[in-house]
Structure 1
Amino acid sequence: MHKPKASQDKPVVVAVCGCPGTGKTTVARAVAHRLGVPLLIRDEIKAGLGLSSASVGTEGIQFPEDFHIAGGPVSVRAEAVMIDLATKLAGAGVSFVAESSVLSGQLVDGLRAADARVLAVHVVADEAVIAQRLRTRGAAVDAQLAELFRRGEMPASLFEPPAGVDAVVKIDTSEAGPPTVEEVEAAVLALLAVRR
């Protein structure tokens, strides 16, 4: 597919969301590559912000204590930066892919205010697959997420796309192998064909 052009057409933002461990980042990278558009990943923004206040010691890079807290100060700043950047890109007529576990109403509202079409891609997987992926990744944060998921304290409904998007595509990544993104490409083409 050719890169969606910024012309009189409104940009299309593919917003990828889903529970940790479903493969959102893998799907988002595949979609951005397939469409030939830029990719924003909230966790990469968060890592950059964390590095700005990290220190280097004998054990390597030490992130601030609150870096790994979901909803903590670094997470809140990363969300604000993501919303600002996404809104500016959309306002400039740029189509792109944005990946974040939860698509906040603020992000969707910002994209709508920038006159973008928003396609939500909801990435899902079987609970057992998610739990295994979180355990396999091994990071302390993923172990905490796996435990929350196991206890039912992280409901799947938390990661569903909010109201206000133009279309939703669900991708199930339970099976091993690269994600299939043709349905996302078809949905983007359908949104580009709609004149508003």
Structure 2
Amino acid sequence: MVSGPPATGKTTLARALAQHLGCPAILRDEIKQGMVMNRPGHDPDSDDPLNIPALEAFFATITVLLRAGTTVVAEAAFQDRLWRPGLEPLAAFADLRIIRCTTPAATVARRITDRAHSDSHRAAHGDKALLADMEAGVYDPDKFIPISLDARTCWWTPPTATRPAWRRSGDSCCGRIPRGTQAEDVLIDCGSYLRGG
């Protein structure tokens, strides 16, 4: 499970990790984007009626694949109150691993702004409202409430110029990737972590 606030590198990491592991990536935003394609005039900046159906489809898809014995990489920007109820039933038959993505709030704001202007699929999401909430102090990505399950958890921060190398501590690992580090090295380490190594 790849979790964290919006624009922290979750989707990029989830896609790369799934490709590296050779398993499906289940991305909540792509599920919602597929729903929006069938809803002309959809307005994500209001009380979005597709959020709950997208959440339900996301967990239903993960459940079907896990029950079939499929390893999956699932990604969403849910906080604990949305993740935990969907994950708790899965813990009875799946070995859940959690990667929590983090990045500074200023980087989050810049990334949301950039992708709102460059990615037409982002029209399915409330990026403009999220930016307005950040500017008004209503939403702070640093106060994101992470998944609180008894599961192995890894923290990962996307690359910046000054990040120390990827490291592991006890049953958790902290991913901080310096510039110049090969993404493959990180994926091998992260993939090993997810497989239990």
AA at the equivalent of 1:111? L
AA at the equivalent of 2:29? D
Aligned to 1:51: 37
**What residue ranges of structure 2 are gaps of 5+ in the alignment?**
118-122, 162-178
Report SS of the residue matched to 2:129.
Answer: helix
Q: Distance in 2 between matches of 1:160 and 1:34?
A: 28
Quick one: higher RCO (CA 8 Å, sep 6+), 1 or 2?
1
Matched ranges for 1:1-196 at <5 A: 15-54=1-40, 63-65=41-43, 68-69=44-45, 72-102=48-78, 104-113=83-92, 115-139=93-117, 141-156=126-141, 159-175=144-160, 180-190=186-196
Q: Distance in 1 between matches of 2:110 and 2:104?
A: 10
Q: Distance in 2 between matches of 1:70 and 1:174?
A: 33
Identity %: 27
1:50-98 Cα offsets, whole Å, 9 max, x none, are 22233xxxxxxxx423xx1476220110000111111111111111111
- How many positions carry a matched residue from both structures? 166
Q: Distance in 1 between matches of 2:143 and 2:36?
A: 25
Report SS of the residue matched to 2:98.
Answer: strand
Q: Distance in 2 between matches of 1:112 and 1:46?
A: 25
TM-score by length of 2: 0.73
Q: Distance in 2 between matches of 1:137 and 1:98?
A: 21
Cα 1:182–1:161 change in 2 (3 A) is: farther
Q: Distance in 2 between matches of 1:22 and 1:146?
A: 14
AA at the equivalent of 1:38? P
Comparing 26-35 and 71-80, the one that deviates more: 71-80
TM-score by length of 1: 0.74
Cα 1:69–1:92 change in 2 (3 A) is: farther
What is the alpha-carbon root mean square deviation over aligned residues?
A: 2.4
Q: Distance in 2 between matches of 1:41 and 1:32?
A: 11
**What residue ranges of structure 1 are gaps of 5+ in the alignment?**
1-14, 55-62, 192-196
Q: Distance in 1 between matches of 2:17 and 2:187?
A: 6
Cα 1:128–1:37 change in 2 (3 A) is: same
